[in-house]
A and B are shown apart, each in its own frame.
Chain A
Amino acid sequence: MPRNLRIRVDHDVCVGNAMCEAIAPKVFQLNDNRQSEAVDPGAETLEKILEAAENCPVSAIFVEDADTGEQLFP
């Protein structure tokens, strides 16, 4: 079973660099304000999502296991 993820993008921090969207486009999409939103947390592998989070230049992406609350990134 793939994990059930909760992904948060901090919009006070997000600069719209869009690298997350390039790495995991089914999960991260830019909104009208050109900031990233996690639109569908289950649409890419955990590995891709963590890669996107790690490549955020301003560390705006937070990932946790929605069932256990375990923090997966950072």
Chain B
Amino acid sequence: MSAELQDNLFAPEVIANPYDYYGRVREQDPVRWNKAYELWLITRYEDLVWLTRHHELFSSAVFRNDPRPAYPPIDESDLGLYEYVRNYQADQFIQHDRPEHLEMRRVMHSYFTPKSMEAWRPFVQKAIKELLDEAEEKGGMDVMRDLATPLPVLVIAQMMGVHEDERRYVRQLAEKLLYIGRGEYDRMKPLTEGMRGMIEYVSPLVDERLVKPGDDFISVLADGERRGIFSRHQVLVNTSLLLLAGHETTINLICNGTLAFLRHPGQWELFKTDPDGLAKTATEECLRYDSPVISIQRLATQDVEMRGKTLRAKDRIRWFISAANRDPEKFAEPDKFDITRWPNPHVAFGNGVHHCLGATLARVEGQEVFKALAERFPRLQLESEEFEYQPSITFRSLKALPVTWQ
């Protein structure tokens, strides 16, 4: 009965186990109006795919056009900072609809093709090796702090063409940008520090690349500015977006995937018999089973009927990857972690015209991390059975993941 479903999406039990709550929503009331946050929950796989492929009905320009306040709430004294965040986020290409979205995405799209991302595999392998060398000396690590957090920044900083002695600074900025997905009342201060820091740091780099373009992606974005597709602010914000989007989500893939392996010792044993051969299907299953992103927001552009409900123009809508990827209508034994599952048409990267630009890079990073862990630390085990997650309905983010191999 839908009456049994409570509405607090930030309740500790929902944050701890979104699969139970959103699974019940999917079974009992799949297109559900959530009164507490004034938004629609879309939870069935089929509905998610339909919705994301009908981008003309569901606008991505959320920060620009949704006047409702931040949630979870923030300090009242930080409302000015939230306006700064809204204006900043609104310039991201993912916060645009067609035709602008297509024009902006095309500037960057060919930088991220499967073939060009594959060329980064050796760099990713080397970065993982160096991080694991450091960890090995210590005999244990926090996968979050020591591997998952630094790795994507090393890769993206290299793509940005950041000078080696400035990487530490970029990493500090990247870690401040992560506050976008957190729930603390006072999160606006570090977040806006990270955003302003990016603007100041990247702008001179854009000037340089306009004069002397290279093969890095700041040069790609600078070319978009030269061609009149991006304003300078948009170049800076989208550089920042690539740093953030490639960071939080990859952290979650690595941590949630490692946790899934270690909680399913049979699958971990199986993986170790052939890490090379199983890395691809195993990474897809990690993406499906405990997806890095829980849900994404849209705004209805007009009244839309879904499963007998009327979604009104301007209504807020959230589509739940975490629910769709466990939909029994699409996946046999959806709650089972099976690293040989294939085909595995999960929607961890979304679908339609906004399908994740960095999907191939994320896959390469996930595959190489899981392979390296299996090969170097076959006796990997969890140090604790207690896990805490960030209070977010966007990201499925652990706070820490300590492991040992003694």
Contacts and interface: CB of A to CB of B under 8 A. Distances in A.
A57 B113 contact: yes
B352 interface: yes
Interface residues of B, number: 24
Given A22-B102, A57-B359, A34 B112 contact: no
A17 interface: yes
A57 to B, nearest CB: 6
Contact of B53 (A22, A34, A59): A34
Nearest to B52: A16
Interface string B352-393: 110111011000000000000000000000000000000000
Contacts of B343: 12
A18 B353 contact: yes
Q: Is the interface of B mostly helix, strand, loop or mixed?
A: helix
B106 interface: yes
B54 interface: yes
26 contacts: A12-B343, A12-B345, A15-B350, A15-B351, A15-B352, A16-B351, A16-B352, A17-B352, A18-B352, A18-B353, A19-B109, A22-B106, A33-B53, A34-B53, A34-B54, A34-B352, A54-B113, A54-B115, A55-B113, A57-B109, A57-B112, A57-B114, A57-B355, A58-B114, A58-B359, A59-B114
B353 A17 contact: yes
Nearest to A59: B114
Given A13-B345, A15-B350, A34-B53, 17 more contacts: A12-B345, A15-B349, A15-B355, A16-B351, A16-B355, A18-B352, A18-B353, A19-B106, A22-B106, A34-B54, A54-B110, A54-B115, A55-B110, A57-B109, A57-B112, A57-B360, A58-B114
Interface string B93-135: 0000000001001100110111100000000000000000000
B352 to A, nearest CB: 5
A19 B114 CA distance: 13
A28 to B, nearest CB: 13
Contacts of B352: 15-18, 34
Contacts of A16: 52-53, 351-353, 355
Contacts of A54: 110, 113, 115
**Most-contacted residue by chain B among A15, A19, A54, A56 (CB, 10 A):** A15
Interface in A25-60: 33-34, 54-59
B282 to A, nearest CB: 18
A62 to B, nearest CB: 13
Contacts of B53: 16, 33-34
A37 to B, nearest CB: 14
Contacts of A19: 105-106, 109
B133 to A, nearest CB: 33
B399 to A, nearest CB: 31
A19 B355 CA distance: 11
Contacts of A12: 343, 345
A20 B328 CA distance: 31
Nearest to A35: B53
Contacts of A15: 349-352, 355
A59 B359 CA distance: 12
Interface string B199-230: 00000000000000000000000000000000
A12 B350 CA distance: 15
Contacts of A58: 114, 355, 359
